[in-house]
Amino acid sequence: MIKRCWLEQTKTAYRTCESVLESAQLHVKNLHQHREYLARLRYGGNCSACLLEPWTHTLPCKHGLCTLCLRACDGKETDGCRIIVNECPVCELSVGSRCIRKFIPPTATLRVLALDGGGVKGLVQLQVLQYLCDEIGLRDTVHISTFFDLMVGSSIGGICALGLGTRKWSLEECRMKFLKFTEQIFAPKSCFGRLLSRFTGGWFAILSNVAKLIFFDSIYDSAPIETILQESFGETSLMIQSDLEHPTRVAVVVNQASTSGPTVFANYNKSRHSKNGAYMWPAMDSLYRSLKIWEVARATSAAPGFWDTITLLGSAYQDGGLSHNNPSAIAISEANVL
């Protein structure tokens, strides 16, 4: 009984998908006569072909398409839910045989990884993932991002999610960068400062930090951490990248300094939003498309008192761990609307 019911529902779902896909293919064909006009438009967060759904895939020409229009355009669908796109349906640009985009089948759900903040916990969860990969014997053969469709992180967990998901760091590489961060960001004081602290019983260090908090709102200079993040993620690497075949979805939690409300910066777009309004989702406009990976990493790790806030998209942001040090609730919410 259960098996028969499941089979009927699955067949109905696929028949519906086939019918909708045929309609989308007809629509894309009708776009041909308007390409000269459509190529000049700016579409913001909407699909450039249907204008109804938000884009979920970007092509090298910078046009974004929803999954349905992507499947309906001139291309070849292969095994593993991959599409080799030949040309953009909006501007006629030939994108070549290596433009491959991956989509999630309608009968599947997302595989989600949530990475906590909390300093040393960032190192512990990397070691746990390494242990799991060792146990199944795939640590050196399959990248960790292959197992997940969505990675969500906060604070140091956000930096790890960006590294694993957008830069394809290995777990060992991510661990070594974590240790390098701590060595360079919390660099020891100068010899003069250490001598003064020793002779004053530590009072010099305390008074120095208090003065920094009063006059500069932070104990540490932000320049070293920004330099390290730029070296690690690249100075110009963008959150929204149109040249990647099938990037892992990555979401990072940050806090708006003026309201202490959580905001999610992500390298993907979505068609629906959380109904409870527990966090903000920036508009996917041209300004957002210029957002750099290192800037988001800097925002989610800007712990108050330690580093200054960073201004992105016209607002000041700070450490995402202030509201969601464990981002699992946001991860589940995002998975439900994707």
- The question of whether 308 is a catalytic residue gets the answer no
303 C-beta neighbours (distance < 10 Å), count: 18
The DSSP code for 86 is -
Write the DSSP string, 135-175.
HTT-TTTS-GGGG-SEEEEETHHHHHHHHHHHS---HHHHH
Report the SS3 class of residue 65. strand
Q: To which H or E segment does residue 316 belong? A: strand 315-318
Tokens representing 177? 């960068």
CB of 61 closer than 8 Å to CB of 53? no
The DSSP bridge pattern shows strands 315-318 and 249-256 to be antiparallel
Instruction: Please pick, among 218, 319, 323, 333, the residue that the annotation labels catalytic.
Output: 319
Look at residue 49 and give its three-state secondary structure: coil
Q: Which amino acid is present at 338? A: L
Query: Across-strand partners of 64?
Result: 58
Q: Where are the alpha helices (H) located in the chain, listed in sequence order?
A: 2-31, 35-38, 67-72, 121-135, 156-166, 171-185, 191-199, 203-216, 222-233, 286-289, 293-300, 321-324, 328-337
Active site residue 79: no
Task: Say which of 154, 155, 218, 232 is annotated catalytic.
Answer: 155
DSSP string for 234-281: -SS-BSS-SS-SSPPEEEEEEEETTT--EEEEESS--S---TT--SB-
Q: Could you give the residue numbers annotated as active site? A: 155, 319
